[in-house]
Amino acid sequence: MTKLILSTGNIVSGGPSIIRKPGGYRSNLELTNSLRSNFLAAQQDFAADAHADDDSAVALNGNGNTNGNGLHHSGRTPASVWTAQEEGALYVPRIDWSLAGLQEEPAQYDITVKLFFLPTAAVAGRAQHAKEALGLVLRELGVKEVNLLVMSFPGMSFEGDCEWEADRLNAKQGDDEEEAATWPAIEDLHRQGLVRNLGIAEFGSEKLARFLKKVQVRPTVNQINIKNCCNVPPPLVKLAKEQGIELLVHSDCTDILSRGTLRELLGPGIRGAGLLADPETGGDGLKGDLAPQWVVKYTAVVRDRGVIENKGYFACAELTEE
Amino acid sequence: MGLLALGTALDWPEAKKQAHLVRSWGIKQLLEIWNKAKGKERDAMLWGDEVEYLVVTYSEQDPKVLLSLRQADILTALANDTSLLAKGGCVPELQHIHRNGEPLPVFHPEFGRFMLEATPGKPWGIEFKELLNVEPNMKLRRCIAKDHMLPNEHPITLTTFPRLGSPGVFTEPAYPISGPKLRSQFVPDEIANPHIRFPTLAANIRSRRGRKVQVNVPVFRDENTPWPWKDPTVNYDLHQWPEDDDVRNGAAPDNFIHMDAMAFGMGSCCLQITFQAKNITEGRQMYDQLSPLGPVLLALTAATPIYKGFLADTDVRWNQISKAVDDRTPEELGEKNDRWRIPKSRYASNSTYISTDARLRPEYFDPDLVIDEDIKQQLLDGGMDDRLATHFAHLFIRDPIVIFNEDLQELDLSKTDHFENIQSTNWQHMRFKPPPADNSIGWRVEFRPMEIQITDFENAALSVFMVLITRVILSYNLNFYIPILRVDENMETAHARDAVLERKFWFRKNLFPTSRPSRSSAGGSGSSTPRSAHASRPATPIGPVEDEYRLMTVNEIINGTAYACPEGANNDSTSDSGEDFPGLIPLVESYLDSVNVDVVTRCELGTYLDLIRKRASGELWTAAKWIREFVKSHPKYQGDSVVSEEIEKDLVGAVIKVGEREQQGKGFRGLECEGVKDLGKLMGKFRA
């Protein structure tokens, strides 16, 4: 089994991938577009590096036995060039950790991290996943703690004809038991001082009331999705107010990375990164079943200036060879 | 306007002799503060808005609506109100008394004696919830102002008084025209704030120029407008002052509404926003990046279709102010040979960029920018970099207009008065503001082109929108650069009737960096250039500047091509057809999606964005269009471009009703039945 760690890098200056399209709210396009563009950029960057190395090789032995552009004969940059095997995981693309960190003192930032547990991952792995995901974010931002960690559980949404109905539908979604069972691991991160506040996403009034009864460290934030109508159902407003939980807006979908999307991103197709083997041609590449495990989104905002300095995603997938 | 110093103001012949001294001391003061503040870092994002009001007298039974000239009395009433004092109001010198809680708004005099300006009691921050306090605070300001007026006086936010300068009585009290300071045949000297600074400003501009200012606006040609149209209010037989010859020498051409005094321009109300930057670098970046947005926001906020009782063929105030304070001599205007010809008035769009940004290409500058080379050299010698030195050497081509004799005794480097004398009489559409002499606040940038809107809801929406735009620019490191001469051109374009829908503006096609920055902590907050992940990545080749921008509608710029032209848009987000433009509002929404905003705040901010979206798309009218249609559909309108006293009264009455409804918080619903025609076309369902 191989673990893959995908990353977008800092996407705030990422151009089109961060731009909203009309009707495009609540989507995973930002994630998929920025992964795709980071893969492409890394392939170009490292191909250029490889090219530079080739040139020096030519100068040394003069045999000129290279393809001259750092590209594999398939026309793609070889995976070994732009990805890296490190500490038991394949980093796609490879990450130069020496560039990690924020520009100013950590105290200047509001850092929000949102962890998406995915339906394609085993519930038993969540404690490990949370630790791993948060660890990557802390490393990437060069900080020791974050202000807010929001948990997004699979199979939940806050949709329907206006928020009234959303609240009603929401009550039956997700899996109360699994969510409650996951929470102690998240509370641990808080107790270890890695996370100042905890949050959840897409909890309607009924689910939230049930959830609060089962937890020790209570969430201070509940992210909900609002459409054009700004009517938050009164029961949820009331409950949140009583419990001191802030209702924040988000526009992510919970099932943010599906198996199919991931295969397309990494696959041999024209919009893929060419990391997976092409079953048609039987060419090189990774083979096997690819299951998304989790996605984490992080945002570092300079607190008293409202400037987003760093935003990005990591995603983890497991490849089980057949 | 800042605090008003007292002293002996020099007449122009005397002031002219001291101009060089003031400039040279001004430069020394600038270098002093620049040296002190250039390393200032990490100032918070603070910002402030300024709302300006006309004060009118209106009651249903009076046949006329008049401008009230009681500004001084009203300010005195505000200053002497002990209950306000206790809470920390209300005029600047008393402001420090504030105790616990929010300081109350601050009121300031303005050029027009019929005007008031109000600012929040302390600057706003960037907490999103705090942005929702702007609108209530604006309403509070209006309420406090109204409370200190006579029952029949009202603060209104029309940009200009429709019949200012028309024959007959238009002020309360009334004064005779043709006074010694303004020498205007349309307005009395008493139209200006009586503080010595203001009449001196007007008189010295006139004197330096060698004739009265000429504010000519094309008249709107309606069905029954005689053509060629000769301004019927111009008196060619006045012989009181030498300047009365101006109209006999062609100052009032056919088909133009002719005005001849500073009050016609500086008597306009606008909405200005000032932002504090984290350091000088960020300030310079914001100054440059907001510059190209100026004309677009001017067109979007258009609210000035009437001058001196006639419908104009333009929708905005800008050029009229420009002409109203144009102190250029015939030599500077190019009518005679002299040291230099100056292409623009002191009040005009920006003429240069100042950022240290690597994306600022030499082609964006005006190759013919006029600067004072000696001053530039002094600044360079003082250690200032070329670009900033060029900017200030451009501002310092102007003479100081108002000089107080008392200030000329000795140079005081602990002040910035001489620098500010020149700086604050350069009224460009952006202003780059160094910290004050005590270095207590940061580098600031003022965004000046927007026209005031009729309601506080609209004014708050625009203020908040601009604040969010600055955050988007800094977060995404956006690039709005186009050649500065194209910005000038856009400024002219913005004047056209309904430019918001009918005209196109030069705008940059791709706002994003061409190469992707590092996969870790790239810049974006402005101070450092984004680190490149790999130095070896070949730089994206730079094409001709002309390929970087194209003509766009305001709708495309504000809402994006996907909204403005949905059928033509390519919905594949990764495509780069060159014609797709993301739109400022979608960018703001992307930003809001990336930060933590609570539900209520997000909805309110969404309402503000919706208003702007609809104004840009034409779903709602600009104030200019609404006023124009109000006049045209008035039963007494003759189709001859004339806005009579009766029409004026009904228009101002409608504006007052809208304001009262807003104050009461009752919503605008039903006002159309009370004579406020087409309000739905201006306001939609907002605050209904």
The residue with greater pLDDT, B418 or B338, is B418
Contacts of A93 in chain B (CB under 8 A): 519
B382 CB-contact burial (10 Å; exposed 0-12 / middle 13-18 / buried 19+):
middle
Q: Is residue B381 part of a domain?
A: yes
B194: which 2 tokens? 């009586």
Whether B536 shows a pLDDT value over 90: the answer reads no
Contacts of B571 in chain A (CB under 8 A): 21
**Torsion on CA atoms A285, A291, A294, A298, rounded to nearest 10:** 30
> What is the structure's pLDDT at B29?
97
> What is the structure's pLDDT at A74?
55
> What is the structure's pLDDT at B589?
93
**Torsion on CA atoms B291, B296, B301, B304, rounded to nearest 10:** 90
Q: Tell the residue number behind the tokens 């008196």, with chain if given.
A: B235
A90: which 2 tokens? 């394949």
Q: Is residue B121 part of a domain?
A: yes
Please indicate if any CB of chain A lies within 8 Å of the CB of B591.
Answer: yes
- The model's confidence at residue B532, banded by pLDDT at 50, 70 and 90, is very low
Contact between B126 and A305 using a beta-carbon 8 Å cutoff: yes
Q: Is residue B261 part of a domain?
A: yes
Contacts of A12 in chain B (CB under 8 A): 475-477, 522, 524, 594
Contacts of B512 in chain A (CB under 8 A): 13-16
Name the region of B583 (left: φ>0; alpha: ψ -120 to 50; beta: rest). Answer: left
> What is the structure's pLDDT at A270?
85
B 477-536: CB under 8 A from A:
477, 510, 512-513, 516-528, 530-531, 533-534, 536
Check: CB of residue B33 under 8 Å from CB of residue B437. yes
Instruction: Report the range of poorest mean pLDDT among B27-41, B159-173, B257-271, B570-584.
Output: B570-584
Check: CB of residue B256 under 8 Å from CB of residue B228. no
- The model's confidence at residue B299, banded by pLDDT at 50, 70 and 90, is very high
Q: What's the structural domain count of chain B?
A: 1
Axis-axis angle for helices A162-170, A234-243 (nearest 10): 70
Tell how far CA B450 is from the center of its chain.
5
Check: CB of residue A158 under 8 Å from CB of residue A204. yes
Contact between A99 and B475 using a beta-carbon 8 Å cutoff: no
Q: Is residue B321 part of a domain?
A: yes
Sign of CA dihedral B258, B264, B269, B272: positive
Contacts of A101 in chain B (CB under 8 A): 520-521
Q: How far apart are the first and last CA of chain B?
A: 35
- The model's confidence at residue B573, banded by pLDDT at 50, 70 and 90, is very low
Check: CB of residue A315 under 8 Å from CB of residue A6. yes
**How many other C-beta atoms lie within 10 A of the C-beta of residue A206?**
16
B58: helix, strand or coil = coil
CA distance B120 to chain A (A): 19
Interface mutation target, options B441, B575, B599, B686, chain A, most CBs of A under 10 Å: B599
Contact between A101 and B523 using a beta-carbon 8 Å cutoff: no
Q: Is residue B437 part of a domain?
A: yes
Which regions of chain A are under pLDDT 70? 14-26, 50-74, 160-163, 227-229
Please indicate if any CB of chain A lies within 8 Å of the CB of B442.
Answer: no
Give the residue-averaged pLDDT of B408-417.
95
- Rounded CA-CA distance B392/B354 in Å is 10
- Rounded CA-CA distance A101/B522 in Å is 9
Question: DSSP for B389-406?
Answer: HHHHHHHTTSPPS--BGG
For the domain that residue B481 is a member of, what is the CATH number? 3.30.590.50
Per-residue pLDDT tens digits for B159-214: 999 999 999 999 999 999 999 999 999 999 999 999 999 999 999 999 999 999 99
Whether B3 shows a pLDDT value over 80: the answer reads no
Nearest by CB to A12, from B524, B563, B582: name it: B524
Whether B541 shows a pLDDT value over 90: the answer reads no
B386 phi, psi to nearest 5 deg: -60, -45
Mean pLDDT computed over every residue of chain B: 91
> What is the structure's pLDDT at B519?
41
CA distance B129 to chain A (A): 12
Contact between B42 and A108 using a beta-carbon 8 Å cutoff: yes
The strand pairing partners of A112, in sequence order, are A148, A299
Q: Is residue B177 part of a domain?
A: yes
> What is the structure's pLDDT at A50?
67
Q: Tell the residue number behind the tokens 């890695």, with chain if given.
A: A194
- Helices vs strands, H then E, count in chain A: 8, 10
Contact between B599 and A15 using a beta-carbon 8 Å cutoff: no
Burial A47-56 (b: 16+ CB within 10 A, else e): bbbbbeebee
Per-residue pLDDT tens digits for B373-382: 999 999 999 9
Domain that includes residue B288, residue range = 1-499
